[in-house]
């Protein structure tokens, strides 16, 4: 009898572990995508320790081009594991601090990844050298476009970035965006999880293509986890009851 009970407990534990680990791996693999990827890569022409003249300006312009192209994959290449991204102001629910290229994938993917058209024009671009391989870049952005979530939108932002030259490439160490304004056709939906609000109101969740599967699978995954937990609890309760009867 003890062998049968132990077997039941082990099976229940294995079910829970498989569900939790499988679900975690699924969502980790899915993080960081974005629409509008153009296949661009962040390349350099030198491996020297001193940045070539004009290389930073070229890197900044390439970064802005990737932003305009809604190319989240290329945007992520401008960040390293220690990079810090901070979005503040009228950022449509995306206010907060994000870390590394994965953080860039989240914040840029959630914003430009949901747009079908985007135009960002920079103004008052200033590059200030702070060392042999470091510089501060500041500029203003006027961003217009069409989002699958909020419709047509218009926003302005002040951007301040700390760029570092290492191993022949410029990367962004600190990326600070202060959104001064944000207006859209559907301002009530400008949140981190606007799909919930749209679904409650009987509308399509307007998901980006890379998140359709996650949206559909999530309820079943959650249900499986709860069922596994309940099964484990029932098995443990049954074992305890049997011991008390003895």
More confident residue, 172 or 198: 172
Q: Do 130 and 173 reside in the same domain of the chain?
A: yes
Q: Do 40 and 58 reside in the same domain of the chain?
A: yes
Both tokens of 210, joined, read 């890379």
More confident residue, 24 or 103: 103
Check residue 64 and give its pLDDT: 96
Q: How many domains does the chain have?
A: 2
pLDDT at 235 over 50: yes
Check residue 198 and give its pLDDT: 46
pLDDT at 176 over 60: yes
Instruction: Kindly give, in sequence order, each residue whose CB lies less than 8 Å from that of residue 24, ignoring residues fewer than 6 positions away.
Output: none
Mean pLDDT lowest for which of 2-11, 43-52, 86-95?
Answer: 2-11
Q: Above pLDDT 90, what percent of the chain?
A: 39
Q: Do 219 and 174 reside in the same domain of the chain?
A: no
Domain that holds residue 224: 2-26+213-245
Check residue 93 and give its pLDDT: 76
Contact 63, 41 (CB under 8 A): no
Q: Do 145 and 201 reside in the same domain of the chain?
A: yes
Q: Do 18 and 39 reside in the same domain of the chain?
A: no
Distance (Å, rounded) from C-alpha 164 to C-alpha 22? 38
Q: What is the pLDDT of residues 131-168, one digit of tens each?
A: 999 999 999 999 998 887 778 888 999 999 999 999 89
pLDDT at 83 over 90: yes
Q: Do 173 and 225 reside in the same domain of the chain?
A: no
Q: Do 119 and 235 reside in the same domain of the chain?
A: no
Q: What is the pLDDT of residues 85-111, one digit of tens each?
A: 999 998 877 889 999 999 999 999 888
**Could you give the dihedral angle defined by the CA atoms of residues 21, 213, 94 and 164, in that order, rounded to the nearest 10 degrees?**
70
Q: Do 106 and 14 reside in the same domain of the chain?
A: no
């Amino acid at each position: 009898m003890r062998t049968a009970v132990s077997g039941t407990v082990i099976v229940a534990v294995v079910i829970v572990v498989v569900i939790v680990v499988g679900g975690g791996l699924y969502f980790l693999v899915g993080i960081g995508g974005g629409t509008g990827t153009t296949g661009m890569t962040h390349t350099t022409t030198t491996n020297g320790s001193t940045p070539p003249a004009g290389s930073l300006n070229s890197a900044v312009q390439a970064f802005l081009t990737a932003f305009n192209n809604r190319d989240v994959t290329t945007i992520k290449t401008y960040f390293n594991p220690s990079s810090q991204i901070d979005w503040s102001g009228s950022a449509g629910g995306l206010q907060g601090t994000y870390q590394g290229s994965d953080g860039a994938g989240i914040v840029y993917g959630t914003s430009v990844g949901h747009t079908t058209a985007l135009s960002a024009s920079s103004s008052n671009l200033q590059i200030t050298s702070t060392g042999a391989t470091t510089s501060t870049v500041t500029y203003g952005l006027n961003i217009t476009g069409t989002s699958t979530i909020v419709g047509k939108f218009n926003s302005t932002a002040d951007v301040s970035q700390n760029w570092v030259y290492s191993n022949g490439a410029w990367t962004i160490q600190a990326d600070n965006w202060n959104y001064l304004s944000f207006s859209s056709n559907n301002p009530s939906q400008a949140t981190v999880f606007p799909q919930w609000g749209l679904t409650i109101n009987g509308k399509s969740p307007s998901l980006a293509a890379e998140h359709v599967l996650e949206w559909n699978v999530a309820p079943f995954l959650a249900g499986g986890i709860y069922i596994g937990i309940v099964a484990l609890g029932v098995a443990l309760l049954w074992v305890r009851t049997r011991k008390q009867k003895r």
